[in-house]
Amino acid sequence: MDLGGIPLFSMLRERLGYLSERQRVIAENVSNSDTPGFTPSDMKPFAVQIGGAAAPLAMAKTQAVTQPGHMVAPGASRRTSYKPVRGRDSETTLDGNSVVLEEEMLKMADARMSYDAAIGFYQKSLNMLRLAVRAPGR
């Protein structure tokens, strides 16, 4: 059974990919908090990234290769489809760095809670499918 063909699981897979990429962008911001002239980035909201309800179904047909060691499937790209955007300038230090660690930690906590919620929803949905497939009386 291919779970990618079920719209709910396709959307959850896209959501988890988005949240994983957002965590990577935030971690990059934190790691460059002392780099002179660095401007932090963030991801557009998930609904804006996917561009409508039909987009996850179209993107689910090919998986993006996110690590150099992954095998490339026919038609798959080596890059994620999510693009980070430059963050707004809230505070800039004298060296031109505008990373605010408190804001980045709040973003990371938000991304982590959303990721945990999506994983929980994915697991509950899988359990519901297993229950539906199970033979009566088992």
Distance (Å, whole) CA 63 – CA 78: 9
Amino acid at 75: G
- Coarse DSSP helix, strand, coil percentages of the chain, rounded to the nearest 5 percent: 50, 5, 45
Task: Give residue 72's Cα distance to chain centre.
Answer: 20
Residue whose pair of structure tokens reads 């026919």 in the numeric block: 74
- pTM for the whole structure: 0.67
Closest CA to 81 of 17, 37, 5: 17
Q: Which two tokens stand for residue 32?
A: 């460059």
Cβ-proximal residues to 20 (8 Å cutoff; 6+ apart), any chain:
115
The string of pLDDT tens digits covering residues 68-127 is 666 555 444 444 567 777 766 567 777 888 888 999 999 999 999 999 999 999 999 999
The domain ranges of the chain are 3-133
